[in-house]
Amino acid sequence: MLGLRIKDYLTENGIKQSFLVEKTGMSASTISDICNGVRQKVDAIEYYKICKALGVPLDRFLFEEESEV
């Protein structure tokens, strides 16, 4: 799921969700819901803001293969 990929990226890079709140202007609850998979759909503008704040290309989380279980 997209939100969990974003959350993993934050964890791996030592970035707190509060950083995304500050950089994107999105609410803390929205960022939390996305990262925790509560919100499964992220609209294009939200996704753009998150990628821009993290300095990653737009396709970074969309096409990343899920690890095999």
Q: Decide if 37 is inside a domain.
A: yes
Q: Decide if 16 is inside a domain.
A: yes
With H, G, I as helix, E, B as strand and everything else as coil, classify residue 68: coil
Q: Decide if 44 is inside a domain.
A: yes
Does the pLDDT at position 61 exceed 80? yes
pLDDT, average across residues 59-68: 68
Q: Let me know: does 65 contact 58? Beta carbons within 8 Å.
A: no
Q: Decide if 15 is inside a domain.
A: yes
Q: What is the pLDDT of residue 27?
A: 97
CB atoms under 10 Å from CB of 13, counted, come to 10
Q: Decide if 32 is inside a domain.
A: yes
CB atoms under 10 Å from CB of 28, counted, come to 12
Q: Decide if 61 is inside a domain.
A: no
Express each pLDDT in 9-53 by its tens digit: 999 999 999 999 999 999 999 999 999 999 988 999 999 999 999
Which structural domain, as residue segments, surrounds residue 7? 2-54
End-to-end CA distance of the chain: 14
